[in-house]
Amino acid sequence: MIDVTLKGFLASELPQDIREKIVGEYRYINVDCDWWDFILDEFISHMEEAYGAILEKEEIEFDLCRGGYVKYNGTFYLDVGACKDKVEALKEIDVLIATAAAIADPSEKYLVGRIMEAVASMDLSYRYGIVCINYSDVETDLFEYADPFELLSEILGDERCVSLPDELERELEALIKEEFRNLLNRLRKEFEYLISDAAVIETLDVNGFLFTKDGERIPGFYPITAETDHKLLVEK
């Protein structure tokens, strides 16, 4: 048995053509894991902060092939208060209710208060790709109920108030779709970076992968430090 000194090279130390060969072999080393996990965690935190929505990570599905998509296979609810800064329809509803309160006669003051309560307690939800808006009717007289937006329309003499729920639904749907588009773009960008030549070479270097001058992997794990000269003792 004799000791033979074998010279090993980091991927970054090899000529360009050899590096290209190595990268081709290890192209997907960085994505052979749940590389998307932290991105989904950040997205879930963002949705809670921006919209008061609680999402389950297991319900988020995405595919980066053939154009790609992101979808949510479940239901989450949006908080009315949290959405007001981002949804123009909610701002407009608040302005119209305040206007109604200012011009309402004494008999209508009660109704304006009930309209305000109905709007504040609306259920805004996203169910399997569709935004749903649910709210309670307002009690007007004994055993009589009316749609709060129809009542607001009557008090203000503005028929457009009746269409406000539809406007709110369209705006929320556009916002949520934009959030999912942003998530898809973030996933694409991260994936493309992880399979890039630079990222693959860096991972191989950091994890102590050593190669011969011809680009053949030298088996084993060799932690690389500033003092390492990559000379390995191999038994023959």
User: Per-residue pLDDT tens for 9-53?
Assistant: 999 999 999 999 999 999 999 999 999 999 999 999 999 999 999
Q: Binning pLDDT at 50, 70 and 90, where does residue 227 land?
A: very low
Q: Binning pLDDT at 50, 70 and 90, where does residue 222 land?
A: low
User: Per-residue pLDDT tens for 97-110?
Assistant: 999 999 988 888 88
136, 121 Cβ separation under 8 angstroms: yes
Same-domain status, 78 and 171: yes
Same-domain status, 50 and 109: yes
The tokens describing 28, both together, are 């997907």
Number of compact structural domains in the chain: 2
Q: Binning pLDDT at 50, 70 and 90, where does residue 219 land?
A: confident
Quick one: pLDDT at residue 3?
59
Q: Kindly state the average pLDDT of the residues 153-180.
A: 95
pTM (two decimals): 0.84
Q: Is the pLDDT of residue 229 over 90?
A: no
Half-sphere exposure of 140 (CA within 13 A, CB side): 13
Q: Is the pLDDT of residue 224 over 60?
A: no
75, 43 Cβ separation under 8 angstroms: no
193, 185 Cβ separation under 8 angstroms: no
Same-domain status, 6 and 115: no
119, 97 Cβ separation under 8 angstroms: yes
Same-domain status, 106 and 204: no
Q: How many CB atoms lie within 10 A of CB 4?
A: 9
89, 136 Cβ separation under 8 angstroms: no
The tokens describing 121, both together, are 């307690």
Same-domain status, 216 and 166: no
Q: How many CB atoms lie within 10 A of CB 159?
A: 10
Quick one: pLDDT at residue 230?
53
Same-domain status, 113 and 230: no
> Which residue range(s) make up the domain with 142?
36-194
Same-domain status, 135 and 55: yes
Q: Classify residue 82 by its DSSP letter.
A: H
Q: How many CB atoms lie within 10 A of CB 153?
A: 19
User: Per-residue pLDDT tens for 121-164?
Assistant: 999 999 988 999 999 999 887 678 999 999 999 999 999 999 99
The tokens describing 101, both together, are 């309160």
Q: Is the pLDDT of residue 234 over 70?
A: no
Same-domain status, 95 and 155: yes
Same-domain status, 6 and 53: no
Same-domain status, 104 and 118: yes
User: Per-residue pLDDT tens for 55-88?
Assistant: 999 999 999 988 899 999 999 999 999 999 899 9
Q: How far is CA 64 from CA 24, 59, 120, in A?
A: 20, 17, 39
Same-domain status, 43 and 13: no
Same-domain status, 58 and 141: yes
131, 53 Cβ separation under 8 angstroms: no
The tokens describing 126, both together, are 């996203």
